[in-house]
């Protein structure tokens, strides 16, 4: 169930007000983004989450909302905005995104299951594309572009805060990764960066590792 917003909520204006270098999104793209619809979405019953804190040596459970509060829970969905942004990427930027998705699926997911999601990788990509000029996004520089994306993700992991690209005051790590898990993932991402992506040889999806060899 969703409700269409007739105007942009205040916390969705961050995309148009946030300081940025200016090369992306372009003014034309930003104008198109302002016309995108935003929805209030009913999230449904949120499940329990379990974890283990190795530092404190204790297990924990985060309970779902009591059923009587579920109907009052809504979240903002900017899926139309995000879709337009992804369509605005060039082919090398999309290749970088695909590789980071493979890294998440094969190398990081075993550490924290699905709590580090494709959406986290997409968010890191969008902030990276915004930060670096279009000239670096070339086929002969693809590996370095992937490293830039991983460095953005590493920064988010280090501070324990992954900002939403289109909605302000949202931490995409909240309710997903514990403090200890953030450090574990950061350690592995750091090793990938420092090894100049030697980890790519381990990827089995689409025989990427073999093709690189």
Q: Calculate the CA dihedral of residues 14, 108, 178, 10 and round it to 10 degrees.
A: 10
- Indicate the domain borders of the chain: 2-212
Degrees (nearest 5) of the Cα angle 207, 210, 212? 105
Percent above pLDDT 90 for the chain: 65
Q: How many CB atoms lie within 10 A of CB 213?
A: 8
As to burial, measured by CB atoms within 10 angstroms (0-12 exposed, 13-18 middle, 19+ buried), residue 18 is exposed
Helix (H) or strand (E) holding 112: helix 109-112
What is residue 169's three-state secondary structure?
A: coil
Class of domain 2-212 (CATH, top level): mainly alpha
Under 8 Å between Cβ of 153 and 144? no
pLDDT at 62 over 70: no
Confidence of residue 50 (pLDDT cuts 50, 70, 90): low
Give tens-digit pLDDT for 106-120: 999 999 999 999 999
Confidence of residue 154 (pLDDT cuts 50, 70, 90): very high
Confidence of residue 212 (pLDDT cuts 50, 70, 90): low
pLDDT at 25 over 70: yes
């Amino acid at each position: 169930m969703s409700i269409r917003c007739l105007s942009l909520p205040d916390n969705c204006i961050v995309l148009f007000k946030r300081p940025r270098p200016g090369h992306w999104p372009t003014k034309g793209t930003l104008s198109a983004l302002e016309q995108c619809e935003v929805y209030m979405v009913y999230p449904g019953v949120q499940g329990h989450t379990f974890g283990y804190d190795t530092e404190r040596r204790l297990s924990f459970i985060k309970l779902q909302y009591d059923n009587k509060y579920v109907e009052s829970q809504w979240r903002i969905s900017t899926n139309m905005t995000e879709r337009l942004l992804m369509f605005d990427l060039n082919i090398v930027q999309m290749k970088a995104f695909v590789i980071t998705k493979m890294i998440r699926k094969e190398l990081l997911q075993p550490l924290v299951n699905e709590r580090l999601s494709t959406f986290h990788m997409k968010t890191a990509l969008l902030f990276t594309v915004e930060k670096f000029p279009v000239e670096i996004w070339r086929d002969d520089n693809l590996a370095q572009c992937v490293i830039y994306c991983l460095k953005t993700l590493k920064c988010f992991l280090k501070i324990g805060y992954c900002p939403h690209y289109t909605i302000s005051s949202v931490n995409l790590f909240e309710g997903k990764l514990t403090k200890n898990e953030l450090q574990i993932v950061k350690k592995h991402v750091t090793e990938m960066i420092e090894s100049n992506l030697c980890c790519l040889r381990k990827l089995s999806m689409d025989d990427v590792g073999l093709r690189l060899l």
